[in-house]
């Protein structure tokens, strides 16, 4: 939802003034209990029934039905707030902007003065509200996913007065995650909107008017749509919960500031509160909040997508970068550990500095909640070069990803990409020219010759297209295979071209094995492209978020990336490749030490 323009906000404020002058009635208070969780998962505009089709009877929406409005707001009780009023009375009606020539003198007992908050409390920003001049006293605050709850020093001053309210609205299993006072200046409108972010789906937000000079001149409206928003009464002490997925807006048409207490809670246990020190500095983004003292606690990068090429790595990288706590690298395929490796740099420190130039390293130092990563799908095959460099330069627990797909389809997609004439000059150069002018079958035959010369496939009858299974089982995993694989990597994995490894990039067991020998198994997450399509992107990404130790976040754009159309494979060639890859595919479950049916026979060929 695009932010409202100044002109739109001015028009909405003028409309609010008109409604106040006309005496728009408040909706009746109805204690409907807590807003139901299912009603908070989607913007209410999307929950409404679609218009009737031709011939279908239109359902009536009587005014008395709209008054209930169960998904949008509900009264949670009423309470005398005199004790709280006394605490926030001083200075609530003043302007503390630095550009105000009549900025009030500093009073040590004024909680509204940001100069006091800077020294005695902790300065928290709320960008839109700050821009509108809304003042605040922040007591508890959390990130967008409620993974961190910060208790500010002033909490102890207000807790005794706020506790009776919390006792009324907080359920037995509730965890308070935010508490703050907001002072809305006269003549200011918070425009019609619904909130976004993961917190909206989990959090229950309760408003409590505290200081309201003339409640008839404060217009707080909420409803499933702009047209059906209703007015909520803002008498001091009226505790009401709103559904932040609903449309809502607030206008102060009075001559004094209006002060609300806002408390947010979730069901179930939350993280342990972190006690902030007076004057402590924090760093915020739209969805994260971190202590400045925690800077440099997360190294850069945090993850690498190793490959396999043409197995969905571009899509995976795009999906990961849709998480609000993930920052894209300066370029997707850094190649800092293979093509761009700088042998002239003689120390690990210099190599690290060089590699980190491909990321927003300095910016990330201040945001330990956020992370970044690399997606260079040539790394998986080039383990001989990459593993020792990675372990030396990135000597922390790196999260590694491997995407695999049917190796037969992967091979055709690989061939189609590098032989395509479409693309920029740089892309065409990177793909290489070695396969141009050759048929798919010619490239297969050339690759098999290289593999045989290295002693890598002694069990494969090239002419007949069959595997000697007795020899395969004896050779697989043996020192002879390891030696042959190492020789192949030495001789046939070049740099600065993508036209190599048509078949070996699909031998996933041989590629993954060195990584599992070099890293603990929990470093590596292997995903199957076909499973992502079958189970859905969101299901797969739940595994990814867990592997990255990130809170779950829905992917908005599930569109596959970097796909292309190409000619179907010759049926005989397809059968030939299926026969070649089939015994290798069936080893995946053993190598991954998985009893999942997904890996038992990952690509069954008819």
303-307 and 399-404: which strand pairing? parallel
Is 405 flagged in the annotation as binding?
Answer: yes
Distances (CA, A) of 456 to 246, 286, 327, 422, 571: 63, 52, 40, 34, 26
Instruction: Give the pair of three-digit tokens for residue 241.
Output: 């919960």
Which residue, among 521, 524, 518, 519, has the nearest Cα to 548 in the 3D structure? 524
Q: Which of 310, 349, 438, 533 is catalytic?
A: 310
Give ∠ CA 291-150-324 in degrees, rounded to 5: 65
Instruction: Kindly state the helix (H) or strand (E) to which residue 221 belongs, with its residue range.
Output: strand 218-223
Q: Do residues 336 and 358 touch, judged by C-beta distance below 8 A?
A: yes
Burial of 255 (0-12, 13-18, 19+ CB in 10 A): exposed
Task: Using only the alpha carbons of the chain, give its radius of gyration.
Answer: 31
Distances (CA, A) of 488 to 377, 383, 412, 458: 18, 12, 21, 14
Burial of 227 (0-12, 13-18, 19+ CB in 10 A): exposed
What span, in angstroms and rounded, lies between the C-alpha atoms of 531 and 544? Answer: 13
What span, in angstroms and rounded, lies between the C-alpha atoms of 243 and 72? Answer: 5
Q: Would you call 310 a catalytic residue per the annotation?
A: yes
Is 413 flagged in the annotation as binding?
Answer: yes
86 phi and psi, to 5 degrees?
-65, -35
Binding site residues for 3'-phosphoadenylyl sulfate, as ranges? Answer: 405, 413
The set of catalytic residues is 310
Binding site residues, as ranges? Answer: 405, 413
């Amino acid at each position: 939802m695009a932010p409202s323009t100044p002109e739109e906000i001015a028009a909405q404020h003028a409309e609010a003034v008109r409604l106040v002058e006309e005496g728009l009635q408040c909706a009746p208070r109805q204690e409907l209990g807590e807003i139901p969780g299912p009603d908070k998962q989607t913007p209410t505009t999307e929950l409404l029934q679609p218009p009737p089709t031709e011939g279908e009877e239109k359902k009536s929406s009587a005014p008395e039905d709209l008054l209930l409005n169960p998904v949008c707001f509900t009264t949670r009780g009423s309470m005398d707030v005199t004790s709280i009023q006394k605490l926030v009375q001083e200075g609530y009606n003043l302007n503390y902007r630095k550009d105000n020539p009549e900025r009030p003198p500093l009073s040590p007992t004024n909680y509204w003065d940001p100069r006091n908050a800077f020294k005695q409390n902790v300065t928290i920003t709320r960008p839109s509200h700050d821009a509108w001049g809304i003042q605040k006293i922040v007591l508890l605050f959390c990130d967008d996913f409620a993974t961190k709850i910060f208790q500010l020093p002033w909490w102890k001053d207000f807790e005794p007065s706020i506790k009776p309210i919390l006792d009324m609205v907080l359920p037995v299993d509730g965890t308070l995650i935010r508490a703050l006072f907001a002072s809305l200046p006269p003549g200011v409108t918070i425009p019609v909107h619904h909130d976004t972010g993961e917190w909206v789906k989990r959090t229950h937000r309760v408003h409590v008017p505290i200081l309201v000079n003339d409640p008839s001149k404060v217009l707080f409206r909420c409803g499933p749509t702009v047209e059906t928003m209703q007015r909520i009464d803002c008498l001091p002490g009226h505790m009401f919960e709103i559904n932040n997925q609903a449309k809502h807006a607030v206008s102060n048409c009075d001559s004094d500031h209006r002060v609300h207490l806002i408390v947010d809670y979730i069901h179930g246990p939350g993280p342990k509160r972190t006690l902030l020190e007076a004057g402590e500095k924090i760093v915020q983004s739209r969805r994260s909040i971190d202590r400045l003292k925690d800077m440099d606690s997360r190294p850069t990068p945090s993850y690498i997508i190793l490959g396999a090429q043409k197995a969905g790595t571009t899509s995976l990288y795009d999906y990961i970068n849709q998480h609000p706590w993930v920052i894209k690298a300066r370029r997707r395929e850094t190649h800092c550990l293979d093509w761009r490796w700088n042998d002239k740099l003689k120390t690990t420190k210099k190599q690290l500095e060089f590699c980190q130039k491909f990321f927003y390293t300095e910016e990330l130092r201040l945001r330990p909640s956020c992370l970044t990563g690399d997606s260079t799908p040539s790394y998986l095959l080039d383990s001989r070069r990459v593993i020792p460099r990675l372990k030396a330069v990135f000597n922390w627990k790196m999260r590694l990803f491997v995407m695999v797909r049917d190796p037969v389809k992967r091979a055709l997609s690989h061939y189609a990409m590098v032989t395509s004439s479409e693309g920029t000059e740089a892309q065409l150069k990177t793909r290489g020219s070695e396969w141009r002018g050759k048929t798919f079958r010619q490239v297969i035959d050339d690759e098999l010759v290289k593999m045989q010369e290295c002693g890598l496939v002694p069990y494969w009858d090239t002419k007949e297209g069959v595997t000697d299974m007795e020899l395969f089982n004896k050779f697989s995993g043996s020192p002879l295979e390891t030696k042959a694989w190492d020789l192949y990597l030495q001789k046939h994995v070049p740099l600065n071209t993508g036209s190599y490894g048509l078949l070996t990039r699909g031998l996933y067991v041989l590629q993954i094995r060195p990584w599992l020998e070099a890293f603990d198994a929990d470093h590596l997450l292997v995903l199957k492209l076909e499973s992502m399509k079958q189970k859905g992107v969101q299901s797969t990404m739940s595994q990814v978020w867990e592997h990255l130790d990130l809170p779950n976040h829905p992917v908005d754009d599930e569109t596959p990336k970097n796909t292309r159309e190409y000619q179907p494979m010759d049926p005989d060639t397809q059968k030939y490749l299926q026969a070649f890859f089939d015994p290798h595919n069936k080893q995946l479950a053993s190598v991954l030490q998985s009893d999942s049916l997904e890996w038992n026979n990952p690509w069954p060929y008819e």
